[in-house]
Structure 1
C-alpha cells in the first residue's frame, strides 16, 4: 500500500521525539524535527545526538546525511504532526501541567492544512487530547476538527502514547504494540497507517483517546504499585534485621510470585509521574495508587537517613573526626542504570540532600554524564574521579550502572540502595 505521508513533523526532540523522528526518517520519509532548544537543533543537523540511547546515533547520522531528517526551531507544513513534549507537574502539587502541549499546539496551528493528522504522543492525563483539539480549533476556525465535524473533519486527531524502555528505545519502538485512540474511527485508522510504516508490533485501536491515555497511565501505575511493594519490603526487612535481597530471591521461587527489586525510589518521567495523573483525576478512588506513590516518593528520605546512620557509626569509630572530615562517594545519579536521563531521579534527590549536609569531600561517580554544573549548590563536588582516587569514608550506591567498578573503590561504610553489590 502506498504511503500517504510524504513529510512528517515531530514536535519535541527529546528521549522519545528524536528516536521516533529517526525511525520514520530511516524509512526514507522526510522528517522535520522541531525543538525550542537551539543547541539540540544544531547538534542534530550535524548528524549527532544530544542524549544517550544505544543505536540512536547511527540512525540519526545516516538519516541526516541522506537528507531525510533535519531539525528546526519552528514548525513547517507537513502531512502529519507528532507531539512529543513533556507533561510535568504544576509546582509541587502533582497537578498535570499541559502548557508544553498547548505551546506545541499553538506552534503547529498556523501551518495546519486540510487532510493533516495530529497525534499526541506525550503521556497525558485523561482528556488532554480532546483539550488539544479544542486549542487547535480555536486557533484555526477556518478548518474543521473531529469534535465538531466527526469523521469528515479537515484535521484528524489521535492519541498514541509511547511505551518504550530507555536503553532499548530503538528496538521497542519497532517491536512493541501501539495503542491508538483516535477521536473518530477515521482518525484511528489514519494514525495506525502512519505507525505501520515502521512498527512490526500490532497497532491496537482503542475506542477513543481517553482510553488510550488511561491505558498508558495504568501501565505505569501497575509498575509503580509493584515497585512500592518491593520498596516497602526493604523498609520492613531493615527493621527486622533481614536481607531484603535474600528474602525476595527466596519468595520468587514460588511459581506465581515475581517480586521486583527495591531501589532508592522511582524516577523517570513516566512511572514517577503518571500515577499522579490518575490520582488527580479520581482522588477518592485511587487509594492504592496514591499510597504506592507515597511509599516510593518517601524512599529517598529513608536512604538519606541510612547514610546519616552510617556517618554516625563512622564518627563513633573515629572520635577524633567531625562531620566536616567525613568524605562521601556517591555512585549513580540517573533514574535507572546505563542511561544519562536525570528526570525525576531519586538518586539525584538523595545526592542533593547529602551535598546540603555539613560534610567534607563529596564525589560523584556517574559514567553516563560529563558535567554536574548547576546540579548542586556546592561547587566543590567532584565528578568521575580516577579509579585509584576513589577512596572515601562512606560509599553510597544509588544506581547499578554496569561500569561502576565498585570493587576498585574503598570505603569504611557502604550503603547499597539498589542491590548493586549483590547483582
Structure 2
C-alpha cells in the first residue's frame, strides 16, 4: 500500500520541516498543530520558526497544494507524531539532585486525537524523543481508543499480517540550522514494533531520505537517540568541569584544551555556560529516570552541566563587586550588565531550555541595576521575560559596565570588546 496522504502531528522545529520534505516530493501532507497562529502562518505559505531554506520549501508546497495545516487530524495513510516530551512539573534549572519525570501527556493527547481517523493499513510513527517504552505505550493508548482495530504489542516482533495499524519509532537526528539538509542526508534509525512495521516505516521515509534506514526494534531506537545525546552531555560536562578547575588554578582553559587536542586521540569539546536545547539538556534524564541506580556517570554529567549557569551567575556577582570597589561613588543600581546571546546555541532563534536565557533572566531578577540583552536572531523577547530589554550590540557595547558573553553567534565573532569586567563563557573575546 502506498502513502498518498501523510499527516504530521506537531508543526514545530522538527514537524514542520518533516512535513515540508514530504510535500516537496509531491505527497499530500496534512500538518496538525494546536497553535492557531502556527496553522494560519503555514497556510499563508510562511513559517513561524527560523530555519534556513525552510521558508522557500513551505511556500512552494502550500502554493502548489501539497501542504496544508489544520487544528484537527484528518484521515491519512501515515501519521508522524512530533510533539514535545517535557518533564512533569519541570523547572528551568534542574540544578539539584532531583530526577525529573518525563511527561508523555503530549504524546497521549496526539494519540487520542488521531485515533478516530485511523483505518486498517495505516502507519503511526513516533518521532518525539522519548523514554524507553514510549512507543509501546503509544500503541496501547491507540488500542484503547480504537478497540475495533488491532495494534502491535510488546513481544510481537515477528507478528504477521494480522495487525491493522503498524507502529514504529524513528527519532530525528538533525542539527538546528541544518535541518533541511540533514533530514535528507542523515541515516535514520527505524524501530518498528514488528518487522512489518519497520518495513512500512522504511518505505515511508525513503520518500525523501537519501541516508541509510537502519532497522532495529522500537526500544533500541528510542535508546539510540538518548544515547547519542547523553554521550555529548558527558563530553560537555568534562569540558565544563575543566573550565571551573582552570578558573580556580588561574589557567586559560581555552589554551589548555587547544594544547590537549594536539594529541592525535584527544578531542575535548569547548566549555560554555551550560547545556540547553530540547535534546542534550533533556534526553539524559530519560535514561536516568528509568535506571537511576545504574546511570551514575550520565546523572553526574547532568548535575555538572545544570550547575554551570549558577557558576556563571556567581562570576557576574563578583564582577559587580569588583566594579563597585573600583568605583566607590556608585551603587549597584548604577551598574549596567549586558548579556550577549539568549539562544541555546549559536546562530539560531531557539530559546528552549537555553542556559543563556535562564542566566540572563536570573541576573535581571537579582540585579538592582539595568540588564540589557543582545540576541541578533530574534526581534522581540518572549512575553514571560518581562524583566529584560532587548538591545542592539553597539548600544550594549558602549553603555554596559559589565559584559557577559553567553552564545558565540557569528555576529559576535571578530569583534573586540575591551573591558576590565568581561566574562566570556565561550572564549571568543
Choose from 377, 384, 388 the match for 2:391. Answer: 384
Q: CA deviation at 1:388?
A: 4.6
Choose from 321, 324, 342 the match for 1:315. Answer: 324
Give the structure 2 partner of residue 185 of structure 1: 195
Q: Summarize deviations over 1:374-416 as a string: whole Å, max 9, x none.
A: 23342xx321336256320001100011013673656441111
Give the structure 1 partner of residue 209 of structure 2: 199
Q: Given that residues 374 and 396 in structure 2 are in contact (C-alpha distance below 8 angstroms), is that contact kept between their aligned partners in structure 1? A: no
Q: Given that residues 80 and 124 in structure 2 are in contact (C-alpha distance below 8 angstroms), is that contact kept between their aligned partners in structure 1? A: yes
Q: Given that residues 87 and 103 in structure 2 are in contact (C-alpha distance below 8 angstroms), is that contact kept between their aligned partners in structure 1? A: yes
Choose from 367, 383, 403 the match for 2:411. Answer: 403
CA distance in 1, matches of 2:425, 2:390: 20
Choose from 293, 305, 329 the match for 2:302. Answer: 293
Give the structure 2 partner of residue 129 of structure 1: 135
Equivalent residues in 2 for 1:96-175 (5 A)? 96-147=102-153, 150-152=159-161, 153-175=163-185
1:246 correspondence with 2:244: no
Q: Given that residues 329 and 363 in structure 1 are in contact (C-alpha distance below 8 angstroms), is that contact kept between their aligned partners in structure 2? A: yes
Q: CA deviation at 1:372?
A: 1.3
CA distance in 2, matches of 1:316, 1:337: 34
Q: Given that residues 100 and 285 in structure 2 are in contact (C-alpha distance below 8 angstroms), is that contact kept between their aligned partners in structure 1? A: yes
Residue segments in structure 1 that go unaligned for 5+ positions in a row:
none
CA distance in 2, matches of 1:395, 1:322: 17
Equivalent residues in 2 for 1:249-260 (5 A)? 249-260=258-269
Q: Given that residues 392 and 412 in structure 1 are in contact (C-alpha distance below 8 angstroms), is that contact kept between their aligned partners in structure 2? A: no
CA distance in 2, matches of 1:356, 1:326: 14
Q: TM-score, normalised by structure 1?
A: 0.96
Choose from 400, 420, 423 the match for 2:428. Answer: 420
Q: How many residues align?
A: 416
Q: Summarize deviations over 1:311-348 as a string: whole Å, max 9, x none.
A: 11111110111111100111000100011111110001
Q: 1:389 to 1:283 in 2, by over 3 A?
A: closer
CA distance in 2, matches of 1:405, 1:237: 23
Give the structure 2 partner of residue 64 of structure 1: 62
Q: TM-score, normalised by structure 2?
A: 0.95
Equivalent residues in 2 for 1:338-417 (5 A)? 338-378=347-387, 381-385=388-392, 387-388=394-395, 390=397, 391-404=399-412, 407=415, 411-417=419-425
Deviates further, 145-154 or 109-118: 145-154
Q: 1:396 to 1:386 in 2, by over 3 A?
A: closer
Q: Given that residues 363 and 385 in structure 1 are in contact (C-alpha distance below 8 angstroms), is that contact kept between their aligned partners in structure 2? A: no
Q: Equivalent residue of 2:160, what SS?
A: helix
CA distance in 2, matches of 1:53, 1:386: 23
Q: CA deviation at 1:361?
A: 1.6
